[in-house]
Structure 1
Amino acid sequence: MKKFLPLVFLLAFAFPGLAQRAEINNHNYYSYYVGPTSMKGGVVGPVNKLKSRKLGTGWLRWNDITPILVEEMTKAGYDQVYTNQLFRIDSAQYVLLAALAMRAPVVGFLYAEGHAAFPTASDRQPGHQLMGDGKYDYVQLVSTSANKTEFIKIRHLPANLLALEENWYWYQYTDNPSDNRYLLTKEDIIRVLREDIQEKLATAPKPVKQ
């Protein structure tokens, strides 16, 4: 009697890199970082396996994440989802939301811009923030009309506002596509972002069937 191995197993056996890429998720993706760990030196990852010597690190920007937020929120059942919406937290505090579902229940996403020089897994630990010392649910640096900068600080976000941070969504690239097998690519980090959005929405007020 002939036995047939599952196609997924055969593909993983024939292309080990494929199996490796499939394992990336929002819990382990920092282990794929390649390069320096600080200004003082120290290198991690398979740097010597890269074909190119020009290694770059990028982060997902506002315009990268807004269409993904709309797509994931719509898939989750939220209606009338718009981007770049001004939202009033209280009588004196406004924030710009990356995406907002306008039909009740109103649910929105904040995206804290800015990132550290080097990605580190501690960035995602509870209480860690690029700014704010972990005392606030959301911190964002803004410019004023007086050519100064100040912080928007929100100690406790309402349950219908969900926060993401640019600092979490890094990816790497070189000028040689074959190096992608060793790197966390932009496509990989977009999958991580989608996973985060889905997990955040699971904790938010649920959409009401119309």
Structure 2
Amino acid sequence: MTDLILFGVLPYIAVTVAVCGSVYRYAVDRYSLSSQSSQFLESRTLFWGTVPWHYTIVPILLAHLLAFLFPAAWGTLLGRPLRLYLLEISGMALGLVAGVAMVVFLVRRAGNPRIGAVTTVIDWVLLAVLLLQVATGVYIAVTLRWGSLWYLHTTTPWLWSLVQLDPQVSYMAVMPAIVKVHAVNAFFLLALVPFSRLIHMISVPLAYLGRSAQVVVWYRR
């Protein structure tokens, strides 16, 4: 029953909350769809967190997405041991750097009073969930080798069963506890999107491409 709730019900709840919540926020307060950057308050430490974070998390997410969308092609890519080794090593390295970036974010929020003053409870929740996701991902990569390969035969079929509205929870029920935590936490992270800074991911400023240039002038007495 627990597996059914976690892997057969929770994903649909998370997706519903993410989609409906994002649409509602856009309709009610579309100008809040940003990362609400605190760069003006402190930029040096932020640079060493945000740059490594984006350069590592994007390839990691793309790898997960490509393995889900094109499992046959992904399996062919990993058909040679050398390519499998390179992908595994790259994934571990990217995950470790992402983990360091998360620590930088936490230290910055906790150690700078100016940043702490504009930090909300949901910010701390988001940082904790992101850190858990990265930490479990790195742990899986280190302890459960060849994850990029067995992902194709476990997580990918489960995700496709969700898309087909026929959740096959048996694929995840037999997985180690750490993999279950990683999967459940991913959907919990998805549900946080409408309520956190992650909402900026769906904000694509296409209007900027055609608008006139803006002139910003500092005014001081």
Q: TM-score range by the shorter chain?
A: under 0.3
Question: Where is the helix percentage greater, Structure 1 or Structure 2?
Answer: 2
TM-score normalised by the chain length of structure 1? 0.28
Compare relative contact order (CA 8 Å, sep 6+) and give the higher one, 1 or 2: 2
Question: Where is the strand percentage greater, Structure 1 or Structure 2?
Answer: 1
TM-score normalised by the chain length of structure 2? 0.27
